[in-house]
Amino acid sequence: MKYKPHNYQQFAIDFILKNPVAAIFLDMGMGKTSLTLMAILHLLYDSFEVKKVLIIAPLRVAKHTWSDEIAKWDEFGILRYSIVVGTAAERLAALRKDADIYIINRENVPWLVEKSGMPFDFDMIVIDELSSFKNSQAKRFKSLMRVRPKASRVVGLTGTPTGSGGYMDLFAEFKVLDMGERLGRFIGQYRLNFFRPAATNGQIVYSYSLLPGAEDAINKRISDITISLKAVDHLDMPELISTEYPVYMSDSEKKNYEDMKKDLILDMADGEVTAANAAALSGKLTQMANGAVYADDETVIRIHDRKIEALEDIIEAAVGKPVMVVYWYRHDKERISEGLNKMGIPFECIDSDASIERWNKGELPVALCHPASSGHGLNLQESGSNTMVFFGIPWSLELYQQTVARLWRQGQKNSTVTIIHIVTKGTIDERIMKALSDKNLTQAALIDAVKAQL
């Protein structure tokens, strides 16, 4: 199939070719992979500016997405690639292959730099999901920074540049791109220049907020190497419908919830549940809103089946059309599986290559997925499904948006995509929904500030 880039994709290709350091903030489903491959093709075989490219990506994206895109388009047939995943021996063999592009999962960056014994002779680095390098203390970040000066070109790709950390996340992301040229070399100085303490306890600072004018100042500093494009502006995207499916606990179930919230301890016949601090309490309340909670001895105490009943109603109303169900806790998956088995509905967890293939072929009425494993990069819209149900709702804006984008993306066959959130009323579920909405304001402001004007 011939690759015919959209206007915005050609704009991004030209931007990468023009800028040795480039941050490409594109909404999920806008074809970041294919346009980056086109830029790589030009740099390798037209201008001869690079000879060897390293692509760093989430594991499943490294294993499938990039190679699938190369196979999909006629123009990329010339590109030789090697996928550097698997055992240490398999990774070494892949590195020794003669190729133009080497694709490695981000967890193996420290191994590549420090233990593989292979020379780091890549003159171009592509970081797929730049947001996974937002922690300057992480080993993958430190390892990559050791060899970053050896690459003359670097591209950072993401649809979610700021997650729960807001603008604080940008420091590490841009340092790995420009080695500190725009936002500084040290996180302490970045904080001092643009932030002030928000939540504190004596000398301990738990969170920071932007100083007045800091948002505009940061955006201005990074604008020369950054472009941002929104799918809704450039693609004929399906309509996105986001709804809440409310459920209600009984008086006794609500009393258990409120007791836990007030006392940080719940003594039940099946066991005892305690929370050492506010963060632990948040997790326990989220579990209880979902219908079960881990006791102190790691056994599971069932609180209610309201969400299970709601999920059964939703799946029944789908009348056989594939439904993707997003869970968060292991006991959520176990109780969902139990309910589906009772209904006699075939399902699988999207946690293997085979299950992804079966889902995309439309062979699974229900697929269970966890945001942390299915959120980034996977194309799951081929099944014909246009319904996603959040049984449990993650706090992370990045994981949430990436998960939604598995169905709501270019290539979706349906004219609408419906996202259903099962929300237990009067619980922390409502706060999570509001928090996700509020965090989006910060990210939307960043995206708009550097949005390319075509």
Q: Residue for token digits 């997405």?
A: 65
User: Left (φ > 0), alpha (ψ -120 to 50) or beta: where does 135 sit?
Assistant: beta
The amino acid present at 384, given as its one-letter code, is G
- Other Cβ atoms less than 10 A from the Cβ of 298: the count is 7
Q: Is 318 left (phi over 0), alpha (psi -120 to 50) or beta?
A: alpha
Q: Could you report the per-residue pLDDT of 341-387, keeping only the tens digit for each?
A: 998 888 888 877 788 888 778 788 898 989 887 544 455 555 556 78
Neighbouring CB atoms inside 10 A of 279's CB total 8
Q: How many CB atoms lie within 10 A of CB 216?
A: 12
Dihedral sign computed on CA atoms, order 336, 340, 341, 347? negative
CB neighbourhood size of 149 (10 A): 8
DSSP string, 15-84: HHHH-SEEEEEE-TTS-HHHHHHHHHHHHHHTS---S-EEEEE-HHIIIIIHHHHHHH-GGGGG--EEEE
Which parts of the chain sit beneath pLDDT 50?
A: 375-377, 453-454
Token pair listed for 405: 């984008």
Strands (E), 320-391: 323-326, 347-349, 366-369, 387-390
Distances (CA, A) of 202 to 93, 187, 189: 53, 21, 21
* Residue of 295, 257, 293, 264 whose CA lies nearest to 279: 264
Task: Quickly tell me which residue has 């790709």 as its tokens.
Answer: 157
User: What Rg do the C-alpha atoms of the chain give, in angstroms?
Assistant: 23
| C-alpha separations of 441 from 193, 337, 446 in Å | 22, 36, 9
Distance separating alpha carbons of residues 325 and 333, to the nearest angstrom: 10
Token code pair at residue 231 = 């799918």
Q: Which amino acid is at 5?
A: P
Q: Side-chain half-sphere of 58: how many Cα atoms within 13 Å? A: 19
CA angle, 114 then 119 then 125, to 5° = 85
Domains and CATH numbers, the chain: 7-235 (3.40.50.10810), 239-444 (3.40.50.300)
Count other C-beta atoms under 10 Å from residue 220's C-beta.
12
Judge whether 405 and 28 are in contact, CB under 8 Å: yes
Residue 231, classified by CB atoms within 10 Å of its CB into exposed (0-12), middle (13-18) or buried (19+), is buried
Q: Which of 163, 249, 240, 295 is nearest to 422 (CA)?
A: 249
On whether the pTM is more than 0.75, the answer is no
Partners of residue 196 on adjacent β-strands: 209
Give the integer Cα–Cα distance in Å for 99 and 57: 18
> Tell me, what's the pLDDT at 409?
66
The torsion angles phi and psi of 166, rounded to 5 degrees, stand at: 60, -140
Which two structure tokens, joined as six digits, stand for 223?
């604008």
Strands annotated E in 114-170? 124-128, 153-158
CA dist., res. 35 & res. 11, Å (int) = 9
Whole-Å CA distances, 102 to 16, 63, 94, 222: 19, 11, 8, 28
Write down the number of H helices and E strands in the chain: 19, 19
Q: How many whole angstroms separate alpha carbon 112 and alpha carbon 408?
A: 35
Helix, strand and coil content of the chain, in percent to the nearest 5, comes to: 45, 20, 30
Tokens at residue 340, please? 């589906």
| Residue 377: per-residue pLDDT | 47
